[in-house]
Amino acid sequence: MKRVLISLPELNIEQKAKLAAAAEGCELVYVPEGAVTRDDVEGAEIIIGSVPAGLLHQPGKLELLQLGSSGADAYVADGILRPGTVLTTCTGAYSQTVAEHAFAATLMLQKKLHLYRDAQGRREWTDCGAVSSINGAVVLVMGLGEIGRYYARMARALGAYVIGVKRRPSAKSDCVDEQCLTEDFDAVAPRADVIVSFLPGGPATTHFYTLERFRAMKPGCIFVNCGRGSAVSAETLEQALRSGCIAAAAVDVFETEPLPAESPLWGLENLLITPHASGFFHLPATLDRVVDICAKNLKAQLTGGELMNVVDFKTGYKK
């Protein structure tokens, strides 16, 4: 009997039943997030949930690590998982919640609602001036995965011209008007009124948004980052916003989290900060999607079926 360690947020009866049905004949052990021990890990053939990478260190029995997250950065380094262990993610489960957060932030900045909220806090009846619209805007979506495509569909539905940028060549997605590769960014970025980043982590995307690249953007451009905080340094973002390289930004992810209280970013009125809240499980449907993916991969692993969202250890991305 195989032992399945499940470390996800608290599940309801229906969600647990779905996992149990997928793991017929297995022993299911539920351990709350944050309470997993090395003994728990060592005793499991299958783990479901993003257990701390520091607890792994090539656990000898582990066949499958099904993360509860979409990112796998911490688990692809040498020495974390033994050779032969399959690593899968929940890519796709967070597309709605992250994309809607990014889209709401876009509209908020375009209509200067962040400034009106600040004025409300000061009890000031003030007009914050001209606004912009998503209708007719050129929107550049960096990272055309599940989240990027979800965002692109919403932007196009409201009349935006959407340029999708992705890592590998493929047929043009029907959710964008134009599609190009990452190496084309410098050529297309100056056309954009809005740049939304859903870039994954990794060496290729670390500090991708340099000050030179911000300087090449439209002065009135809006920048939204709901991908990885490592894509832009706090210092570069501050300089871009203070200098007027871009008009405003909404950022949900930072290199250092929590963002230190002494960071000068907190004091910028043209920056909307959220505490890595676009994903997680604030939208209840997200956990349902996570459980669906985990159950399908659990059953596939036990029956020899095809697994979803298998990670390539060389790139750290989905194969």
In this predicted model, what pLDDT tens digit does every residue of 299-312 receive, in sequence order? Answer: 999 999 999 999 99
Kindly list the strands in the beta sheet with 64-66, ordered across the sheet, starting from the edge strand earlier in the chain.
27-30, 3-6, 46-48, 64-66, 86-88
- The whole-number pLDDT of residue 59 equals 76
Q: What was the pLDDT predicted at 158?
A: 98
Cα within 13 Å of Cα(312), Cβ side: 6
Identity (one letter) of the amino acid at 223? F
Over the chain, what is the mean pLDDT? 96
pLDDT score at 202 = 85
pLDDT in the model for residue 314: 87
Determine the Cα–Cα distance for residues 255 and 235; give it in Å rounded to an integer. 11
How far apart, in Å, are the Cα atoms of 32 and each of 49, 91, 133, 278? 10, 22, 44, 22
> What's the gap between Cα 235 and its chain centre?
22
Whether pLDDT at 68 is above 90: yes
How does pLDDT run across 137-172, given as a tens digit for each residue?
A: 999 999 999 999 999 999 999 999 999 999 999 999
Residues facing 197 on adjacent strands: 142, 225
Integer Cα distance of 241 and 250 in angstroms? 11
pLDDT on residue 207: 98
Domains of the chain: 3-93+283-303 (3.40.50.720), 95-273 (3.40.50.720)
Is pLDDT at 4 greater than 80 in this prediction?
A: yes
**Is there a contact between 174 and 139 (Cβ–Cβ < 8 Å)?**
no
Say what the pLDDT of residue 215 is.
98
Walk across the sheet containing 161-166 and list its strands: 178-181, 161-166, 138-142, 194-197, 222-225, 248-251, 271-273
Confidence grade of residue 245 (pLDDT, cut at 50, 70, 90):
very high
Per-residue pLDDT tens over the stretch 210-232: 999 999 999 999 999 999 999 99
What is the per-residue pLDDT for 319?
84
pLDDT of residue 311: 96
What pTM, to 2 d.p., does this model score?
Answer: 0.94
- pLDDT of 315 reads 85
Percent of the chain past pLDDT 90, that is, above it, reads 93
| Residues labelled catalytic | 228, 257, 276
Q: Provide the pLDDT for residue 24.
A: 95
User: Binning pLDDT at 50, 70 and 90, where does residue 289 land?
Assistant: very high
Percent of the chain with pLDDT over 70: 100
**Residue 82 pLDDT more than 80?**
yes
Render pLDDT for 24-35 as a digit per residue (tens, 0 to 9): 999 999 999 889
